[in-house]
Structure 1
Amino acid sequence: MNSSILVCVIMCSCIQICLADYDNLQDTCPAAPTSKQSIFINGLPCKDPNSITPSDFKSSKLSRPGDKNKFLRSATTIVTAADFPGLNTLGLSISRIDLDVDGLVLPLYHPRASELFFVSAGVVIAGFVDTKNQQFQKILKEGDVFVLPRGLLHFCLNAGDEAATIFSVLSSQNPGVVSVAGSLFESDPDMLNKLVRKIKSISSSQVNGLENATLFGFY
């Protein structure tokens, strides 16, 4: 009986280790460019320590707004270790979300990362749904921060009368993106159009009421 318990404890520990990005075994490990090869590794190879430069730890990829989707009026740019060498082995990636007036990001989730939203400009509504189907959402203004737990469905939309910008940090160097809305509505574009039109039809006087509303009930 005791041996069975010990085995279970060891297995649980192993599972937790496997679910996390690996700890860094040296001070830094900027990603090295990879060539075509038949070997696949969990992560990216490191540069020769003697070739590391300060430029490996700087990126300007989020300095400009992304190309916004004409229909959703939003753009999301995620920068991972594949694009920003200095992130390699640190268990981090970064993103920028640009929302025009009436812009929105439909429900999605990151299977390997939690996400920390920071509103740089504008007013947005951001929220997530937990495994008990409870919704948590808030109106966020410039300077506000909102946490999105790992693997949970989340969304955001512009709730103001000017463009909004969100920067975020994700707790994995390869967080992954699963667009639930895209998967659900791919075979029924009319339903997606209806959902977006309904969301965009909300007047400014209704914004405060959204704190207690259910986004997925709109359609």
Structure 2
Amino acid sequence: MSTQKNLWLLLSIFSLNLAIITLASDPDPVQDFCIPNPILASMIKTHHTFHTILPCKNSSEVITNDFIFSNMKTSGNFSETGLAVMPANPTNFPGLNTLGMSFARTDIEIGGINPPHFHPRATELIHVIQGKVYSGFVDSNNKVFARILEQGEVMVFPRGLVHFMMNVGDEVVTLFGSFNSQNPGLQKIPSAVFGSGIDEELLQKAFGIEF
């Protein structure tokens, strides 16, 4: 009887771990594809778009162009930090819906940066197409893994870890990044710390600075 109870306990623990692993990533698709129905999707859209709940349109209405994204031929608009990002996710690339992945083109002007940030729901893999970029991430022990990447090199940023980029060359950097989630999320450290409304006294004490 004791052996049987131990077996059930082990099975219960295994099932719980399996459930946790399953919940930790995008759900597996249950069909070949799910092109969002634009009318139904707009009806359920809220302030925050959750890309995993977009309803499908009838497969008879799906066309080849639903699986093609052509907006990465040129860069997006550059920000004050010299950064331009062109994302591809189910909101602008219907074919990605339910497939558990997304993509982005990033361009960084000379001297520009992609500030420290992280993606809470995805690991990111970047591929440098042009230029030289100082790139890296910080692990949970506050150890930095960083160096200059050149054309053709690839780097991975583990899920949830802070990472960053800076153009250290003499031409615009262009790179492409892929994510193992169709909604990886994005939290920029400067905005999260100084632009979110955290009490200034707390920040002064935390960073030892004065505003």
Equivalent runs, 1:1-219 vs 2, <5 Å: 2=6, 3-33=8-38, 34-37=41-44, 42-70=52-80, 72-186=81-195
TM-score, structure 1 as length reference:
0.79
Q: Distance in 2 between matches of 1:135 and 1:109?
A: 14
* 1:207 corresponding residue in structure 2: none
List structure 1 runs of 4+ shifted beyond 3 angstroms: 37-42
Q: Deviations over 1:42-99 (max 9, x none)?
A: 43212211111110011122222111112x1112232211110000111111111111
Residues paired across the two proteins, number: 187
Q: Which structure 2 residue ranges, 5 or more long, are not aligned?
A: 198-211
Is the 2:51–2:183 contact (alpha carbons within 8 Å) kept by the matching residues of 1?
no
Alignment RMSD, CA only? 2.1
38-47 vs 15-24, which moves further: 38-47
Mark the CA change 1:84 to 1:11 in structure 2 (over 3 Å): closer, same or farther. same
Shift of 1:32: 2.1
Q: Distance in 2 between matches of 1:41 and 1:126?
A: 28
Is the 1:30–1:88 contact (alpha carbons within 8 Å) kept by the matching residues of 2?
yes
* 2:205 corresponding residue in structure 1: none
TM-score, structure 2 as length reference:
0.82
Higher CA-based Rg: 2
Q: Distance in 1 between matches of 2:119 and 2:45?
A: 27
Q: Deviations over 1:27-54 (max 9, x none)?
A: 2222221232499884321221111111
Q: Distance in 1 between matches of 2:184 and 2:119?
A: 6
Mark the CA change 1:116 to 1:187 in structure 2 (over 3 Å): closer, same or farther. closer
Q: Distance in 1 between matches of 2:42 and 2:161?
A: 35
* 2:204 corresponding residue in structure 1: none
Identity over aligned residues, as a percent? 39
Q: Distance in 2 between matches of 1:42 and 1:150?
A: 18
Is the 1:32–1:85 contact (alpha carbons within 8 Å) kept by the matching residues of 2?
no
Q: Distance in 1 between matches of 2:45 and 2:84?
A: 34
Mark the CA change 1:60 to 1:156 in structure 2 (over 3 Å): closer, same or farther. same
